[in-house]
Amino acid sequence: MQPEELSFVTLVAHASLLVQLVMALLLGISIASWTAIFRKWFQLRDASRATDRFEADFWKDHDLGALFEQLREGKRESGSLARIFEAGMAEFLKTRQQKPGDVPAMLDGARRSMRAAYQREMDQLEAQLAFLASAGSVSPYIGLFGTVWGIMHAFRGLANVQQATLASVAPGIAEALVATAIGLFAAIPAVVAYNRFAHDADRLSTRFDTFIDEFLNILQRRAH
């Protein structure tokens, strides 16, 4: 059974003020990281599923005009890829009315419009990834700072002790090491989540790029 004087709560309560502030900061980073992790997980999961559904509808529906109208009227569930398609199709139809017969202008307008929509969607999908990367890289150093300061504080307390023993120095060192443990607790999930979410965002980015190229080929054939 864990001694009362070395329990986690007691170690935190007996730590120096600066170390307690470091622990509180790390706890706040950990809470913010887990909040971002759950939000990003749901967002990327929903984006992937919406992309799957739209690709299935796109390739089985030969009437792209009807698909476009259904998206604009809200009759079909929208998603990142659907919004990219909608932006390109809207610009293509607009340019065809303004410059009939000018195929390069139609395709260039559709391409630029889809690229702009693509960038907006990727900005949303990649939001908060930078925070997770920062939390994963900085948290261990913040915890290490708290540990170093706590150990310094513990050894300063031994100046007034005539005979230093392990029993007298152990509580102070244990209090300091809690900061490192909390720093790792905040950093590890953030790093793992960042790597996973960055991979998922890259996969969606590749799918969006491929769709844009394929859709432009379809528009080119239809424009002629």
Least confident segment among 156-160, 161-165, 212-216:
161-165
Please state the pTM of the whole predicted model: 0.81
Give the pLDDT confidence of 93-144 residue by residue, as tens digits: 888 888 877 888 888 999 999 999 999 999 999 999 999 999 999 999 998 8
> In angstroms, rounded to a whole number, what is the distance separating the alpha carbons of residues 220 and 198?
33
Identify the sign of the CA torsion 92, 98, 100, 103. Answer: negative
Q: What is the pLDDT at residue 11?
A: 65
Residue of 154 and 214 predicted with greater confidence? 214
Using CA atoms in the order 111, 116, 117, 119, what is the torsion angle rounded to 10 degrees? Answer: 120
Q: What is the pLDDT at residue 160?
A: 64
> In angstroms, rounded to a whole number, what is the distance separating the alpha carbons of residues 151 and 65?
70
Residue of 199 and 179 predicted with greater confidence? 199
What average pLDDT does the segment 16-36 reach? Answer: 88
Residue of 4 and 83 predicted with greater confidence? 83
Q: What is the pLDDT at residue 4?
A: 47
> In angstroms, rounded to a whole number, what is the distance separating the alpha carbons of residues 47 and 84?
13
What average pLDDT does the segment 39-48 reach? Answer: 95
CA-derived radius of gyration, the chain: 28
What average pLDDT does the segment 179-187 reach? Answer: 89
Least confident segment among 12-26, 117-131, 152-166, 172-186:
152-166
Closest CA to 178 of 6, 11, 18, 60: 11
Share of the chain above pLDDT 70, in %: 83
Q: What is the pLDDT at residue 175?
A: 73
